[in-house]
C-alpha cells in the first residue's frame, strides 16, 4: 500500500506499510515509490523521514482510586481514520463536567465513575475497528491486494457507506449508554441531542438549543397549557444552580416553539426533555409528572 497526499504544488506526503522484519532507510524511498506506483518518480528532496510502529493498547481501567486516565494515557490506536485525537477530545468532554459537578457541587462520586462506564467501551471499539482497518491496509497477501483498491473506491463513492464511516470517525454516532436505535425515533435517550432550533422573542431570530446552553443540565418543558406545572417549576427553581429551564409553548418567553415545530418533530405534545451538559439526552417523558424527573436527576445532582 502506498498513499500520496499533496501538501503544496511541489511538496507531497508519502506513507506506506512495511513488513516488520524489513530494514528501511531514507535512501530506499525512491525504489519503494517506483515499485508500488508502477511509474517513474524522481524524489528531489526529503524534508522529513520517519518510521512509525503502529500500537494498539489500552489500560485495564480508566479510573484507579484517585487516578483518572484519558486520551493517549488511556488508549493508543492506529492512526488509520484519525480517531486518536477525536477519542481523546471526547474523553475530556465526557469527564470535565462530571469532575466539576462532583468537586464543586458535592454531586455523588458515582457521577465521575460514569466516565469509565461510558468511555471504556468506546475506546475498545476504536481499537478494534482501527486494528481491522490497519490489517487490511497493510496486508501483503496477493489474494487480498485487489480488495484494497476496491474497498477504497466503494468507501468514497457509496454515500451511505461514506456517511456511516464519517459518523464513526467523528464519533457522532455514540450512545451513553448504548441507546436503542430505531429508524423512526428522531432522538433517543443516550443519543446526542440534534441541532434543533427555537425562536428568540427579543430579536425574532432563531437559535439552536446548543447555542443557549450554559454548562448546566438543560430541562425543556413542553407546556400545552392544560396542566398545572407549579410543582415542576418549584423543583427546577430549587435546583437552579444545576438546571437551566427552558419552557416551550406557543406563548412562552424568552424562547418559544413557533408553530410547535420542535414539539411536532419530537412527537412531544407535552412532556419534558433533560439534556446533559455535554449535549446528550438524559431523559425523555411524554407527561409532566414530577417524580420520574426527580428520580432521573437525583442520580446526578447533589442531595439536598
Distances (CA, A) of 271 to 157, 237, 265: 42, 18, 13
pTM of the model: 0.77
Residue 249 buriedness (CB in 10 A; 0-12 / 13-18 / 19+): middle
Can you list the domains of the chain with their CATH numbers? 1-53 (no CATH), 59-170 (3.50.50.60), 197-298 (3.40.30.120)
Listed residue (184, 175, 196, 205) closest to 273, CA to CA? 196
94 close to 277: Cβ distance less than 8 angstroms = no
Listed residue (126, 51, 132) closest to 85, CA to CA? 126
Tell me the pairing of strands 2-6 and 12-16.
antiparallel
Beta-strand ranges (E) seen in the chain are 2-6, 12-16, 57-58, 63-64, 67-68, 75-76, 197-200, 206-208, 217-222, 243-248, 255-256, 271-275, 281-285
From first to last of its 304 residues, the chain has per-residue pLDDT tens of 777 888 888 888 887 777 655 678 888 888 888 887 888 888 888 888 888 777 789 999 999 999 999 999 999 988 776 778 889 999 999 999 999 999 988 888 899 999 999 999 999 988 888 877 777 666 666 666 666 666 666 666 767 666 666 666 667 667 786 544 444 455 678 888 888 888 777 788 888 899 999 999 999 999 888 889 999 999 999 999 999 999 988 777 888 887 778 888 888 888 999 999 999 999 999 999 999 999 999 989 987 6
Listed residue (96, 97, 91) closest to 242, CA to CA? 97
114 close to 98: Cβ distance less than 8 angstroms = yes
Q: Residue 182 has what pLDDT?
A: 42
Place of cell 477519542: 87
Amino acid at each position: 500500500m502506498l498513499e500520496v497526499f499533496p501538501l503544496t504544488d511541489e511538496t507531497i506526503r508519502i506513507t506506506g506499510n512495511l513488513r516488520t522484519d524489513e530494514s528501511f532507510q531514507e535512501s530506499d524511498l525512491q525504489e519503494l515509490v517506483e515499485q508500488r506506483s508502477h511509474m517513474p518518480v524522481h524524489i528531489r528532496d526529503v524534508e522529513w523521514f520517519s518510521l512509525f510502529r503502529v500500537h494498539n493498547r489500552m489500560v485495564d481501567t480508566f479510573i484507579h482510586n484517585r487516578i483518572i486516565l484519558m486520551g493517549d494515557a488511556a488508549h493508543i490506536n492506529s492512526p488509520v481514520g484519525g480517531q486518536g485525537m477525536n477519542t481523546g477530545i471526547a474523553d475530556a468532554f465526557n469527564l470535565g463536567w462530571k469532575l466539576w459537578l462532583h468537586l464543586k457541587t458535592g454531586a455523588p462520586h458515582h457521577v465521575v465513575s460514569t466516565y469509565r462506564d461510558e468511555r471504556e467501551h468506546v475506546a475498545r471499539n476504536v481499537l478494534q475497528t482501527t486494528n481491522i482497518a490497519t490489517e487490511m491496509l497493510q496486508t501483503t497477501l496477493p489474494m487480498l491486494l485487489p480488495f484494497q483498491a476496491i474497498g477504497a473506491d466503494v468507501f468514497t463513492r457509496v454515500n451511505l457507506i461514506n456517511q456511516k464511516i464519517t459518523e464513526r470517525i467523528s464519533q457522532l454516532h455514540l450512545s451513553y449508554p448504548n441507546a436503542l436505535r430505531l429508524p423512526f425515533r428522531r432522538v433517543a435517550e443516550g443519543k446526542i441531542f440534534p441541532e434543533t432550533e427555537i425562536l428568540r422573542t427579543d430579536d425574532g431570530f432563531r437559535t439552536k438549543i446548543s447555542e443557549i446552553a450554559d454548562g448546566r443540565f438543560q430541562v425543556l418543558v413542553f407546556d400545552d397549557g392544560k396542566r398545572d406545572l407549579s410543582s415542576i417549576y418549584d423543583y427546577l427553581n430549587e435546583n437552579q444552580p444545576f438546571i437551566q429551564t427552558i419552557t416551550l409553548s406557543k406563548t412562552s418567553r424568552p424562547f418559544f416553539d413557533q408553530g410547535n415545530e420542535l414539539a411536532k418533530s419530537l412527537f412531544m405534545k407535552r412532556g419534558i426533555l433533560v439534556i446533559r451538559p455535554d449535549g446528550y439526552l438524559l431523559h425523555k417523558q411524554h407527561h409532566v409528572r414530577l417524580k420520574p424527573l426527580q428520580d432521573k436527576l437525583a442520580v446526578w445532582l447533589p442531595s439536598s
